[in-house]
Amino acid sequence: MLKKVFIHLSGFIIVALGISIILHTNVGATPIDAFNYFIVYLVNVPWFTQGIMTFVTGFSVALISYFAEKGKDVWISIIFLFVVGFFIDFWNIFVDMIPTTIYNPLWIRIMLAAITIFVIAFGVSLTLISGLVTSPFERLLKTMHHKGIRLGLAKIMIEGTFLIFAIILGLISGQLLKQVNAFTIILTLSMGPLIAVFMQKITHKKEKGVMIHATE
């Protein structure tokens, strides 16, 4: 059990690192991370950080999932939200120390973002293979699936909703293209397949079997 917890926490810490880097590249983040970024930007209060907003969003999603299905494991997933939120702010401290002149050229930021996609996918795969409670977003995906909505459609609904809100907030803030850009689409389309590949490599199981175990 201790080994599973270690793997699970390691996955979230790696994901947090990926989120921090991708946001600093300003070439496009996931719809959820872009949404959180614009909220933090608009609120513009020193203590209201990206990590705190990540927790607030995740907690809200957890509540929706709980009231829809009454799954008590949702509350356990909230504990791991603290880990993600804390480490996003932790990694931000170190990334902020790097002079922007180093990664200011567009080609460097694109290269970093491309590498980070693999980092995030690897981190998520660790949280899934641990067999422990997944994130509130994945829990909501599971809840919607239990309500009769296909997994693919449920994923589109969740990410599409956050994308719409992110676009609106991005336009209001005047920072839209920093976090809603080409890599937003690339991240959205590539994350699922990459996670499946990592899970297959790590567990040495067939992709189909792993994904069913992870999502149903």
**Domains held by the chain: number:** 1
Which pLDDT value is given to residue 184? Answer: 95
Which pLDDT value is given to residue 170? Answer: 97
Which pLDDT value is given to residue 55? Answer: 95
Contact 104, 26 (CB under 8 A): no
Chain segment 16-50, per-residue pLDDT in tens? 999 999 999 999 999 999 999 999 999 999 999 99
pLDDT band at 196 (very low <50, low <70, confident <90, very high): confident
Q: Give the containing element (helix H, strand E) for 74.
A: helix 73-97
Domain boundaries, position 91: 2-215
From CA 179, how far away is CA 33, in angstroms rounded? Answer: 8
Number of Cα atoms under 13 Å in the Cβ half of residue 53: 20
Contact 128, 199 (CB under 8 A): yes
Predicted confidence (pLDDT) at residue 121 exceeds the cutoff of 50: yes
From CA 123, how far away is CA 189, in angstroms rounded? Answer: 17
